[in-house]
Amino acid sequence: MLNYILYMTHKNFKYYDLILGAYVCVLLCANLIGPAKVSTVYLPVIGSVTFLAGVLFFPISYLFGDILTEVYGYARDRRVVWSGFGALLFAALMATVVVHLPPRDKNSAVEAIFGNTPRIIAASIIAFWSGSFVNSYVLAKMKLWTRGRWLWTRTVGSTICGELVDSALFYSIAFAGLWSTDKLLAIMMTQYVLKSGWEIVATPLTYKIVGFLKRAEHEDYYDRDTRFTPFSLKT
């Protein structure tokens, strides 16, 4: 048993680091560029739909979270979430410094893209951290309950839970008191449905990536003895 634990601790993976880098890239772009634009489109039957542009790309981070937890386990996904958290903090600090540096010429475009209010920055980071851990925890537990069967149930189920926490926290922290309750709830629900729907549409792709990684990495982790605290970097 001890040899197995040591093997798992020091096991090298071919694609884990690449996925981590891609995850952080998507996360930064979705959180720094996405909130800068509120878009409204008209859809047949449904009518006008208003959403923050980041909703088109942020759900990809949940796709990564599902894949990481399913293949490598909760603890390794936890390290990736903390990497994303640290990247968001640094990006927020850098954006604040850049925006407030005295300019040679007035550059409103920089301020418009990167000059998010402290409330929006805090909301993005808190919502991401909380939702990501809920997503990973639910998926890991559902994998045990289903004995590794029916992958779609846990990818969709975990995303529904994680995105609910993410959407509720982000809009409550960022816009409560600034928007009317009706507008706040309407946009919150629109974002939630769009983000969750993303996972359903991406299910065939998730199956292909998960299958490829399990074969390539010779790994299919079950979190039977995992400590599910988010406050750790141990694998």
Q: What pLDDT shows up at residue 4?
A: 43
Claim: this prediction has a pTM higher than 0.85 = yes
pLDDT tens for 191-232 read 898 888 888 899 999 999 999 999 999 999 999 999 999 999
The answer to whether the beta carbons of residues 111 and 102 sit under 8 Å apart is: no
Q: How many CA atoms lie within 13 A of 48 on its CB side?
A: 7
Q: What pLDDT shows up at residue 29?
A: 83
| Average pLDDT score, the chain | 86
Provide, rounded to the nearest whole percent, the portion of the chain with pLDDT above 90.
55
List domains and CATH numbers for the chain.
2-217 (1.10.1760.20)
CB atoms within 10 A of CB 197: 14
Q: Which of 16-30, 67-81, 139-153 has the lowest mean pLDDT?
A: 16-30
Whether the pLDDT of residue 47 is over 90: the answer is no
